[in-house]
Amino acid sequence: MRPGGAFSRGRNAGPVSTRKPVSTAVEMSAHKKVIRIEENITLSQMAQRLSLKSTELLMKLLSMGMTGVHINTSLDADTAKILASEFGWEVEDVARSEDQIIAAARGEEKVVREGEAADIVARAPVVTVMGHVDHGKTSLLDKIRKANVAGGEAGGITQHIGAYKVNTSHGMVVFLDTPGHEAFSQMRARGASVTDIVILVVAADDGVMPQTKEAVAHAKAAKVPIIVAVNKIDKPSAEPERVKRELAELGLQAEEWGGDTMFLHVSALSGEGIPALLDAVGLQSEMLELIANPKTAASGTVLEALLDRGRGPVARVLIQDGTLRVGDLVLAGAGFGKVRAMTNEHGKQVHEAGPSTPVEILGLSDVPNAGDQVHVVKDPKKAQEIAEQRKGKMAKSMVPATAKVSLEELSRRISESGQQELRVIIKGDVQGSVEALAEALSKLTCDKARLSIIHAGVGAITEGDVNLAVAARAIIIGFNQRPAGKAASLADENKIEIRAYSIIYNAVDEVRAAMEGLLPPTLQEKVLGHAEVRQLFKVKGQGIAGSFVLDGLVRRGGKARLLREGAVLWEGKMAALRRFKDDAKEVLEGFECGISLDGYSDLKEKDVIEAYEIEEIKQKL
């Protein structure tokens, strides 16, 4: 299905798309020659449609100043337009909106189904815990989870799958187990809304702090109701009334003060007040009248996703509507595939997951992002099409704008010639670190050198990455990722440097140092030559080894080691070197000389003195 070849990207997103465009229509009208493409097209596909040779297009691009191109390079619509115009063609971008495609892929053009109202049920609320650092968010989540486990789930251990369900007297409640407003706002930034209720944790001994205010702002912006958990009530220094007062100033009026915000006194340490807090959540949820239809095709949101070495892409998903079943075909961000296995928060295999259920799913082709929508779809071809399209977009957005390989970029590069450029390909284990590293590295551009990220993606370093590096003359940075398969040997053959890091700071530091020409040199030993001891004698009480230089040279004051029958007996400095009666600086191959070693006199005939030096080699990056 994939065109493959040296630039095939495997399952990883890349600037090189192997997607087969759907529309291959070539229209010829009287005067205009038009080709239609969807967002992007590979150079070879374009050549085919223009009835030209790929090399002709390649030459044209190169003559326009674009470097690092290859026949499988994916051209964006803008570049394609410029290129096509050079040959008298016009490009029409016929990208369909993603919503249209999803609707078609779901096979659900019809929105309202007969009898659907009867299928509607109440669903469990989804709760996010927010608040200032150290006010007890994690402790509270832990306490709630543990109390729930004691409540009887077989096995008892809860696995981290991004969320868990808790039974309360008002029914089930789902807790997202990444506390803090960052996760919340990150989701919102991706257009996802998973939270129905926010529990705002405020330490009774500390009161409203900056992040408390932020949390309130986030929840209000998302129009999500807030329940206040006044925590650490067990502390003697607790001042719950102060918390109430300070929050009132932020517009959260306690019920007993005539407002509509529930305040609960809790201790995440002792567990006091937690059942009441859960009841409050249940009550709030009843007021929200949350509903879902378990009979419809499932949809939800990715809470977390990662690439597992053994299991492949793993997505922790919150099902928000419908029911997801093993075997369903799902689309999640840039990933799609049949759900191979599903596990709940207790690590148990499950076959289906209804509304407001967190599950971990296996079987996706690619690692989606947190906040990505998940949909069950019917049409595998369309699902793949959407996934590939998203992958292309993602690759573009992950690579900072400055890294775009376009004609525009090229001309700028040319006008800025003289400046060094370091091109980088980043491969990492999770989306978050790849983004963070790309972001940090892209800021390193300085007067002396520009840094361009030509590709950034999740997954192992593949042969495709190495090929891309060869074409673009880039180095590869692996963040918690190593070369897979033949990638390492291919890189070796092509002298492509692969650097491995597991700490972003270190990667940034070293790249910066390299760009400033300050990368610490590595030390390498270089053997200068060998001399064989032929005769031992003494001059003024000092032992001298009458020697013959076998190869290379020996140097006075230089580093030396003594070898006897191949074994190293001693290492140190050559103290004195003489030719006849005079001191000599160096004695070359084929000459005799007298050598004395610094601090070693137990020499024997046939011993070999090896002279060497330590060379500083500037590291390449």
- List residues binding ligand GDP (CB under 6 A): 131, 133-139, 179, 231-232, 234-235, 267-269
**CB–CB of 546/594 below 8 Å?**
yes
Shortest separation between residue 211's beta carbon and ligand GDP, angstroms: 9
Q: Are strands 592-597 and 608-617 parallel, antiparallel or unpaired?
A: unpaired
Query: Least Å distance between CB 277 and ligand GDP?
Result: 12
Nearer to ligand GDP, 136 or 294 (CB): 136
C-beta of 247 vs 332, nearer to ligand GDP: 247
- Min dist CB 129 to ligand GDP, Å, is 8
**Structural contact between residues 452 and 424, judged by C-beta atoms closer than 8 angstroms:** yes
Pairing state of beta strands 592-597 and 542-555?
A: antiparallel
Q: Residue 374 Cβ, how far from ligand GDP at the closest point, in Å? A: 28
Question: CA 164 to CA 484: how far, in whole Å?
Answer: 35
CB of 249 to ligand GDP, least distance (A): 21
Distance CA 342, CA 376 (A): 14
Residue 272 or 583 with smaller CB distance to ligand GDP: 272
Task: Name the token pair of 613.
Answer: 């030096």
Nearer to ligand GDP, 277 or 386 (CB): 277
Query: What is the nearest approach in angstroms of ligand GDP to the Cβ of residue 465?
Result: 38
**Tokens at 348, concatenated:** 């148990």
Question: Cβ closer to ligand GDP: 136 or 428?
Answer: 136
Q: State the minimum distance, in angstroms, from the CB of residue 270 to ligand GDP.
A: 7
Residues 6+ apart with CB under 8 A from 524: 614, 615, 616, 617
Of 210 and 599, which has the nearer Cβ to ligand GDP?
Answer: 210
Degrees (nearest 5) of the Cα angle 171, 173, 174? 150
CB of 268 to ligand GDP, least distance (A): 4
**Residue placing its CB nearer to ligand GDP in the complex, 196 or 206:** 206
Contact 362, 305 (CB under 8 A): no
Between 273 and 355, CB nearer to ligand GDP: 273
Residue 69 to residue 71: CA distance in whole angstroms = 7
* Distance (Å) of CA 204 to CA 140, 293, 332, 463: 14, 41, 41, 56
447 φψ region: left (φ > 0), alpha (ψ -120 to 50), beta (else): alpha
Q: 3-state DSSP call for residue 568?
A: strand
Least CB distance to ligand GDP at residue 244 (A): 17
Q: Considering the complex, state which of residue 96 and residue 242 has its C-beta at the smaller distance from ligand GDP.
A: 242
Q: Given the complex with ligand GDP, which of 303 and 324 has the nearer CB atom?
A: 303
AA identity, residue 601: S
CA torsion angle 554 560 562 568 (round to 10): -130
C-beta of 105 vs 268, nearer to ligand GDP: 268
Which residue, 247 or 307, is less far from ligand GDP as judged by CB? 247
Residues 356, 369: Cα–Cα separation, whole Å: 19
- DSSP result, 515-537: HTT-PPPEEEEEEEEEEEEEEEE
Q: How, if at all, do strands 262-265 and 226-231 pair? A: parallel
Phi-psi category of residue 97: left, alpha or beta, with phi > 0 → left and psi -120 to 50 → alpha:
beta
Q: How far is the CB of 193 from ligand GDP (least distance, A)?
A: 23
Q: How far is the CB of 237 from ligand GDP (least distance, A)?
A: 10
Least distance (Å) between residue 175 CB and ligand GDP: 13
What's the min distance (Å) between Cβ of 201 and ligand GDP?
6
Q: Which residue's CB is nearer to ligand GDP, number 92 or number 246?
A: 246
Yes or no: say if 438 and 453 are a contact pair by the CB < 8 Å rule: yes
d(CA 222, CA 213): 14
The alpha carbon dihedral of 509, 515, 516, 521 has a sign of: positive
CA gyration radius for the chain? 34
For residue 587, give the H/E element and its range.
strand 586-588
